[in-house]
Structure 1
Amino acid sequence: MLGRKPGRRRGPAVAVLAAASLMLTIAGCGVDTVTPGDARGEAAPADGKGGAAGDGGAVDCGKVKCIALTFDAGPGKDTPHLLDILREKKVPATFFLLGKKHVDRYPEVVKRIADEGHEVANHTWTHRILTDLDADQVRDELSRTQNAIEKITGRKPTLMRPPQGRTDDTVSEVSRELGLAQILWSVTAKDYATTDSALIRQRTVDGAKGDGIILLHDIYDGTVPAVPGIIDELKQRGFTFVTVPQLLAPGTAEPGTVYRP
């Protein structure tokens, strides 16, 4: 989810959403959501555990306090530094990548994200609000990013995050067709509206909960500097960091389904 960032050039995708609310809005009352716990409960585990690569072993998120760190709308100029931090802290993350002027501008960073074991996911091509589009337009927004990421990493994403968290039956059907599950979130720091890293850190840790999904953006100046403190504080509070697929394991994200903590 994008918003305005003071003092930086605003690209087309950012300008479109300068006044966007960061509420978890699902357009269309007929769209159901599934929690991570429900996803795990519906699956019969082969070994009772799901992997957590960043922590060096398997973890059962039904028994330990897991949380997924996710970043939207990159990669950007600060993403390599973020990857350095995640590698140092041994934390896996999920990156919902924007296609135009991001994936196509930083292909080497996209490859590094994948090579270092993070989950590479889809955040559309130009960040248009999908519920404002017809099925063909939704398909174009998602499939262009799918194809661009596959060209770089050799694998199409299986997860997507709709801009502003807005989805409906049409978006769900196209996502199902393209093999994409929809992932929302439980806490965001509204980092689009501030460069205060301490505030971003505090908002994030205050909203953290087990089975949570954190939404941040690696394109804003205040965000990446806040990440070490977020990780350290949440680890001290007993959280284990996992990717979104690991949070759902042994369940598997089903295409078209909307997941929200």
Structure 2
Amino acid sequence: MKENQDLIRRMVEEGHEVGNHTLNHPSLPEVDDERLEEEILGLDRVFYERYGKHMTYLRPPKGEFSERTLSISQKLGYTNLFWSFAYEDWYTNREKGPEYAKNIVMRNLHNGEIILLHAVSKDNAEALDSIIKGARELGYEFGNINNIY
């Protein structure tokens, strides 16, 4: 969050939902209850101090969860969110170009999709506009997660 404060502020101001992804990105099933709570609530404290809002959604790092982590995060007031499509875009040394990123996303579009794209990918950043336009041309609409839950 330290490196992307301007982007996060813009997201908040534009009405985007910013979700919790923990302070340090641990595998949640591998941490004890106390650390799990601190990972989630610690990031929420920082977010609230900077942007005046609390987070209500959690995407567990690497998608790793257990019944215990789901239960604790729900008791903390979080709804856990997962994706329905992702590809290995987090390896910045394996990028294949924005056309590849666009094509792989477009080939996998489906109703109700939650697409996981990592911000570290230059390919995603360059392809995002054409992905959005292409999806809209196919009749897909984009919405806020709050309209679903």
In 2, distance between residues paired with 1:204 and 1:153? 31
Alignment length (residue pairs)? 146
Query: How much has 1:214 moved relative to structure 2?
Result: 0.5
Corresponding residue of 2:143: 242
* Contact 1:190/1:200, CA 8 A, preserved across alignment: no
Q: Which runs of 4+ in 1 moved over 4 A?
A: none
Q: Structure 1: where are the runs of 5+ without partners?
A: 1-102, 253-261
SS at match of 2:116: strand
Give the one of 178, 183, 187 matched to 2:85. Answer: 187
What's the CA shift string for 1:202-240, capped at 9, x where partnerless? 111111100111000112222100101111110010000
Match of residue 111, structure 2, among 210, 217, 220: 210
% same residue = 24
Higher relative contact order (CA 8 A, sep 6+): 1
Q: Is 1:228 aligned to residue 126 of structure 2?
A: no
TM-score, structure 1 normalization: 0.54
Tell me, in whole angstroms, the C-alpha distance in 2 between the residues paired with 1:184 and 1:235.
23
1:142 to 40, 57, 80: 40
1:127 and 2:127 are equivalent in the alignment: no
Q: Considering fraction of residues, name the structure with more helix.
A: 2
TM-score by length of 2: 0.91
The equivalent position to 2:69 in structure 1, one of 157, 171, 181, is 171
1:104 shift after superposition:
2.5
Q: Which structure's residues are more often strand, by fraction?
A: 1
Quote the residue 1:162 is aligned against.
60
For residues 41 and 120 of structure 2, what CA distance do their matches in structure 1 show?
23
User: In the aligned structure 1, how far is the partner of 2:5 from the partner of 2:135?
Assistant: 31
- Kindly indicate whether the alpha-carbon contact (under 8 Å) linking 1:110 and 1:152 is maintained by their aligned counterparts in 2: no
